[in-house]
Amino acid sequence: MSQDRDKGVVTLGGHVAADAGKSQAESIAKAIAAGQVVANQIAVMPPGGESAARAMNSDLDTGIEKNLDAALIQNGLQRNVKYDVKNGVVALTGEVKSNSVRAPSRTARSKCQGTAIRKSDKARLGFGKLMS
């Protein structure tokens, strides 16, 4: 687990054997995070199925990246907004000049969230900056 107090983000990492473990870790982190965003990057790796799970996670992340690329281009944000996708979680970074420019980045992120199988996109936009 890592915490960025300036950005208000707690990031969970590692791997567990089942979705229940991932959900439990997120619930615990949210309970102690005091209003911070919890980015749950924990990978689910069922015993004996680790290789298939890694391949599936990689394929999902690639799909999210392609959709996010398209959404950023559509909104003219590809030069100012960068991202990282890990285990279905999107982290946005970059700088924008105003709130009116931030709005399309939120739209781009939410469009990609809808296309992902996982609903663990916990990226957060801060005032004047896009923050992971």
The pLDDT assigned to 63 comes to 93
Residue 102 has what pLDDT? 58
Cα gap 113→121, rounded to integer Å: 6
Q: Contact, 68 vs 112, CB < 8 A?
A: yes
Contact (Cβ atoms closer than 8 angstroms) between residue 109 and residue 68: yes
Q: What is the pTM of this model?
A: 0.63
- The answer, yes or no, to whether residue 60 has pLDDT greater than 50, is yes
Question: Which of 17-21, 71-75, 76-80 has maximum average pLDDT?
Answer: 17-21
d(CA 39, CA 83): 14
In sequence order, the β-bridge partners of residue 37 are: 9
Res 122 pLDDT > 50: no
Given the candidates 3.30.70.1770, 3.20.20.70, 3.40.50.300, 3.40.190.150, the CATH classification of the domain at 2-131 is 3.30.70.1770
pLDDT greater at residue 6 or residue 46? 46
| Residue 95 DSSP symbol | E
When pLDDT is averaged across residues 120-127 and rounded to a whole number, the result is 32
Tell me the HSE value of 89 on the side-chain side, using a 13 A CA sphere.
Answer: 21
pLDDT for the residue 125: 32
Q: What is the pLDDT of residue 95?
A: 75
For position 25, what pLDDT does the model report?
92
pLDDT digits 0-9 by tens, 13-40: 899 999 999 999 999 999 988 888 888 8
Domain spans, the chain = 2-131
